[in-house]
Amino acid sequence: LTVALGQIGNFLAYTAVPTVLVTPLGALGVPFGSILASYLLKEKLNILGKLGCLLSCAGSVVLIIHSPKSESVTTQAELEEKLTNPVFVGYLCIVLLMLLLLIFWIAPAHGPTNIMVYISICSLLGSFTVPSTKGIGLAAQDIFHNNPSSQRALYLCLVLLAVLGCSIIIQFRYINKALECFDSSVFGAIYYVVFTTLVLLASAILFREWSNVGVVDFLGMACGFTTVSIGIVLIQVFKEFNFSIGDLNKPNVKTD
């Protein structure tokens, strides 16, 4: 139930605010989950994990302050225009070509030994997942209206739903394969950074959300995203380290 509610909230967020803000802030589930697990499940959260939670929250605040304040695409007509833009179509062709190469040639040979193969597949599929989610929200606004564009909105929504479903199924498959071969903490940290970067790139090409962002806000968002990413790495990768503040007070005994 909580996962379903979370996904519904995520969907509503994509339809209400720019993607460049929603996607990076999705990482807040990691520090909040770690904090709740330390209290409810009595899991140990070391000093590096606590520092990672602090950095994730601080970076999220910076992202919120410097994010775009308005949507660049608000109607179905604008969405259709963006989807048929030659630049975005060219980007999708490149992504599809890379996915075919990774899935049919590189993954069978190098997937179990190179963590970046499965991460690249799942992250590239994010180029379809997040824009499709946002597009479904925009198209759904016109489906129930009694106007000539409602039929087109229905067809567009169905196509985006099919793309979204296929991309999610393939992502689940390769995420499970990655978790069978590699440590989940390392995979989760690297996957967040690569996935978010490629999703932001796809959204920037499709929705042009960066067009109204100044240099200061761009640098602020870059710093915020970097801070959040460092926090996620500290929480995920170093969570097994047995280290606390009390260890700093221990005397260093030298032996000959």
| 144-190 pLDDT, tens digit each | 666 656 777 778 888 888 888 888 888 889 988 888 888 777 787 78
Percentage helix, strand, coil, to 5, in the chain? 80, 0, 20
Q: What is the model's pLDDT at position 171?
A: 87
Answer yes or no: is 14 within a domain: yes
Q: What is the model's pLDDT at position 97?
A: 93
Give the separation between CA 94 and CA 84, rounded to whole angstroms: 15
12 has pLDDT over 80: no
Choose the weakest-confidence range: 26-30, 67-71, 167-171, 208-212: 67-71
Answer yes or no: is 135 within a domain: yes
User: 82 and 12: one domain?
Assistant: no
Residues whose CB falls within 8 Å of the CB of residue 62, separated by 6 or more in sequence, listed in order: 220, 221, 223, 224, 227
User: 192 and 100: one domain?
Assistant: yes
Answer yes or no: is 247 within a domain: no
Name the domain boundary from 166, 185, 208: 208
User: 60 and 180: one domain?
Assistant: no
Alpha helix (H) residue ranges in 27-83:
29-40, 47-66, 76-83
255 has pLDDT over 60: no
User: 75 and 49: one domain?
Assistant: no
pTM of the model: 0.77
User: 32 and 138: one domain?
Assistant: no
Answer yes or no: is 253 within a domain: no
Query: Cα dihedral angle (212, 217, 223, 225), rounded to 10 degrees?
Result: -40
Query: For 208, left (φ over 0), alpha (ψ -120 to 50), or beta?
Result: left
Backbone angles phi, psi at 148, to 5 degrees: -60, -25
Answer yes or no: is 250 within a domain: no
Q: What is the model's pLDDT at position 217?
A: 81
User: pLDDT tens, 109-150?
Assistant: 888 889 899 989 988 987 787 778 777 777 777 776 666 567
Answer yes or no: is 124 within a domain: yes
Structural domain range at position 187: 71-208
User: 204 and 177: one domain?
Assistant: yes
Mean pLDDT calculated for residue range 190-202: 81
Q: What is the model's pLDDT at position 100?
A: 93
Give 101 or 247, the one with higher predicted confidence: 101
CA angle 12, 174, 48 (to 5 degrees): 70
User: 16 and 140: one domain?
Assistant: no
Q: How confident is the model at residue 14 (pLDDT cuts 50, 70, 90)?
A: low
Answer yes or no: is 23 within a domain: yes
Q: How many domains does the chain have?
A: 2
**Tokens found for residue 164:** 């979204």
Instruction: Say if residues 227 and 256 touch (Cβ distance below 8 Å).
Output: no
Give the separation between CA 192 and CA 188, rounded to whole angstroms: 6
